[in-house]
Structure 1
Amino acid sequence: MAETTVLKVAMSCQGCVGAVKRAIGKLEGVESYDIDIKEQKVTVVGNLKPEVVLERVSKTGKATSFWSDEPAAAKTDSPPVEAVAVL
């Protein structure tokens, strides 16, 4: 039965996306995948354990975690607050 794995992966350019694509492409059992560089999100569907997907993508050297491991504060839709110095 197919399982969906969603990862948060630090990707800053198309080279990063290519590295993740190559890593996922080497996994047996992948049925489909989607890489969203803007959201830093990788979704993999297939007959393989989420831990296997996480381990393989982590080998690219990109910071990788399960999407659900994201801290609650980072899940808000509000933009980050920037400090402004007042002179």
Structure 2
Amino acid sequence: MSQTVVLNVAMSCQGCSGAVKRVLDKMEGVESYEIDMKEQKVTVKGNVQPEAVLQTVSKTGKKTSLYEEAAPAESEGKSVETETKPADEVDAA
């Protein structure tokens, strides 16, 4: 059963991403992976469990978390901004 697991991984250099590559290359069930240094995101596809991927990547010593945990905070922040702008316009009128 193939699935996709997305992680936030604190990576500051090519050495950091290299460490992540090494552990994922050795992990059983991984079909492919993509490392996005700019977004600090690692996407793993294969016959893997999210918790197992999280534990494996955590062994690199990099701060690692499931990507879904951070996404709701971003969308909440955006909705607050859009709600604030109309309120300012009403006050100005």
TM-score normalised to the size of structure 2?
A: 0.76
Tell me whether 1:61 sits opposite 2:65 in the alignment: no
Structure of larger gyration radius: 2
Shift of 1:64: 0.1
Unaligned regions of 5+ residues in structure 1, if any? 78-87
Q: Count how many residue pairs are aligned between Structure 1 and Structure 2.
A: 77
Q: How many Å separate the matches in 2 of 1:18 and 1:54?
A: 16
- Percentage identity across aligned positions? 64
Matching residue's letter, 1:52:
A
Root mean square deviation, CA, Å: 1.8
Shift of 1:60: 0.3
Q: Please give the residue correspondences for 1:1-87 in structure 2 after superposition, counting only pairs within 5 Å.
A: 1-70=1-70, 72-73=73-74
Shift of 1:73: 4.3
TM-score normalised to the size of structure 1?
A: 0.82
Greater share of helix: 2
Distance 1:43 1:75, change over 3 A: farther
Runs of 4+ aligned residues of structure 1 deviating over 4 Å after TM superposition are 73-77
What SS class does the counterpart of residue 28 from structure 1 fall into?
A: coil
Shift of 1:69: 1.0
